[in-house]
Amino acid sequence: MKGLTFLLRQMAPYKGRILLALLLSALTISSHIGLMATAAYLLARAALHPAVMDLMQVIVGVRFFGIARAVFRYCERYVSHDVTFRILSRIRVSVYEAIEPLAPARLMFIKSGDLLSRIVGDVEIQKDLYLRVLAPPLVAFLVLLGFGLFLAPFDRRMPLILAALFLIGGVGIPFIIKALGQRAGERKLKEKVQLQIQTLDLIQGMTELLSFGQEAVYLEKFQATQKSYSLAQRSYARLSGLSGAALGMVSNLGMWLVLVLGITLVRQGKLDGVYLGMLALGVLSSFEAIQALPMSLQNLEENRAAADRLWELKELKPEVEETFPALSSSYTWDSSPCLEISHLSFRYTKNDPYVLKNLSFEVPLKGKLGIVGPSGAGKSSLVNLFLRYWDYHEGSIKLGGKELKSLNSEEVRQLLGVVTQKTHLFNATVKENLLLAKPQATDKELYEACRKAKIHDYILSLPQGYESMIGEEGLKLSGGQRQRLAIARVILKDAPILILDEATTGLDPVTERDVMQEMLNLMKNRTVLVISHHLPIVQNLDEIVVINEGEIVEQGTHQELLNAGKLYTRLWERADIFKSWEYVL
């Protein structure tokens, strides 16, 4: 229910526009009622052969309704789309505001393969919120009210008939069908999931299936599942087909009842026969108002579920609490502050094992340190702490002599230039992606950074140069080009501390060597931390720390460690060296 409240709150600022849209919607339907009713009335009057002049008023009425419907529909479309876009925009902003402080720490714990796409989907589905959830019942109510008031003077029972059938056709039958269809719907969904899994098995496991000669067996299995999926679809279709048929029946029944009632009234002399056709056709037309109700019921469920999930996000607390204000702007950091880590232990939650255990090491001013170790040793957790994505509670990390915890996290990040394996490039131009690092940068500065990152010439070779779009539909950049852009960003940022976290993983060896060379140039006057499980990258650094299972097991220069013949040497021997064949070629 909280989800619904959340949605209503997002709509509240637009209640004027929503009201207008509803009114226009009701008027659109009313015009249709009006057209058919006045037209029937016109014919009835004309059948009595009056002077044409006497009919003029009615004729004008018919023409008016004939035109009004189209005009109302047009305005309604416009206003309701405007409302839809506004609501969506507000929801988007409010969801973003909820997620921003959570990222990335809290988001990692919500176990779902594609959390972000799901969030976007949950927001996007709210495009139906006004048009397909909220509007249909309200419009039906407005029409019922308005047309009921019109009918009442003829006979009190007419609005009652109308209301009863609106209820049966718009609420009763959809609910019954939904209840009946529940089982079939669930079965359909279950079979579909099964089908999906088997398709995944067939496609992603094809190498195995072919090599074991099992492809025919799996294809048969798939077909059997597809057969039962079809069966489920059939029984579902039989039920959902009832919906349309029942609605048609109910509207005609309404017309029929009013007709019978009208005939009795005419006989009793309580109703002038001239109105008979008008009332019957008017009632028939009014059922347009409940056409969308079954759909609205269905969508309500989906929109509510999506809103509930969004609400859950809003209730999460951020991982790191910002308790400290930024340092005064007059404070100046050393040109390249040092990092001191002492007795640092860390685990993600109280129930998890420690991923870092009692670590102590130091990166001196302008020093260059490498951290290596097998996968799962805790290297990336360390970066998460430096970036203040998580808070540590045991031991200390000092940045330029100040305890990291006591610093404002925005401020910390300003000091760090980070290149990670996963560099996100936005769907925007090359230039815009670079400007992220320094919005006020001049073109000259951009070119200079790109020259240093050895990507300038490539960018110029593109037809649109720095204005080329990158991302999904734009240029497909290779891994090396992406990393170079990431480096150019870091150059632009010009931060005193540089952290390279598996920055070259996934690059082919030739590129890896090139990129590494560029980084070495960049490193000259900075404090540098290089984290990698790929050893050749760290061998020329001042010092190397070897971590295994969260602990420091060795420390020293490349030669010292090789001579020691312990884990570092073993890592070298086991290294998948033939992957980096081109390294020397």
CB of 135 to another protein, least distance (A): 16
Distances (CA, A) of 162 to 166, 167, 441, 535: 6, 9, 68, 80
181 and 236 Cβ atoms separated by less than 8 Å: yes
Q: Indicate whether 248 belongs to the interface with another protein (CB under 8 A).
A: yes
Exposure of 261 in the CB half-sphere (CA atoms within 13 A): 19
Q: Indicate whether 485 belongs to the interface with another protein (CB under 8 A).
A: no
Residues in CB range of 21: below 8 A, 6 or more apart: 76, 79, 80, 83, 130, 135
Strands 368-372 and 356-363: unpaired
Q: Six-digit token pair at 547?
A: 């971590």
CB of 208 to another protein, least distance (A): 5
Q: Looking at this protein, which amino acid is placed at residue 437?
A: A
Q: Indicate whether 269 belongs to the interface with another protein (CB under 8 A).
A: no
Please say which residue, 12 or 217, places its beta carbon nearer to another protein: 217
Q: Indicate whether 69 belongs to the interface with another protein (CB under 8 A).
A: yes
Please say which residue, 196 or 521, places its beta carbon nearer to another protein: 196
Q: Name the one range near another protein by CB under 8 A: 2-10, 46-54, 303-311, 325-333.
A: 46-54
Q: Six-digit token pair at 444?
A: 């000259």
Identify the bridge partners of residue 551 per DSSP, sorted by sequence position: 548
Please say which residue, 93 or 145, places its beta carbon nearer to another protein: 93
Q: Indicate whether 130 belongs to the interface with another protein (CB under 8 A).
A: no
Figure out which of the listed residues 351, 375, 442, 461 binds another protein, where binding follows CB under 8 A. 375
Q: Name the one range near another protein by CB under 8 A: 163-171, 179-187, 198-206, 306-314.
A: 198-206
Binders in 107-126 for another protein, by CB under 8 A: 116-117, 119-120, 123-124
CB of 348 to another protein, least distance (A): 17
459 and 485 Cβ atoms separated by less than 8 Å: no
Distances (CA, A) of 256 to 43, 126, 197, 287: 20, 39, 51, 13
Q: Indicate whether 256 belongs to the interface with another protein (CB under 8 A).
A: yes
Q: Indicate whether 263 belongs to the interface with another protein (CB under 8 A).
A: yes
Please say which residue, 360 or 408, places its beta carbon nearer to another protein: 408
Binders in 200-219 for another protein, by CB under 8 A: 200-215, 217, 219
Residue among 579, 30, 24 nearest 286 (CA): 30
Residues in CB range of 57: below 8 A, 6 or more apart: none
Q: Indicate whether 13 belongs to the interface with another protein (CB under 8 A).
A: no
Q: Indicate whether 223 belongs to the interface with another protein (CB under 8 A).
A: yes
CB of 487 to another protein, least distance (A): 14
Figure out which of the listed residues 8, 78, 401, 465 binds another protein, where binding follows CB under 8 A. 78
Binders in 332-361 for another protein, by CB under 8 A: none
CB of 227 to another protein, least distance (A): 8
Residue 375 CB neighbour total at 10 angstroms: 7
Output phi, psi for 371, to 5 deg. -120, 120
Q: Indicate whether 476 belongs to the interface with another protein (CB under 8 A).
A: no
Q: Indicate whether 536 belongs to the interface with another protein (CB under 8 A).
A: yes
d(CA 218, CA 238): 30
Binders in 289-318 for another protein, by CB under 8 A: none
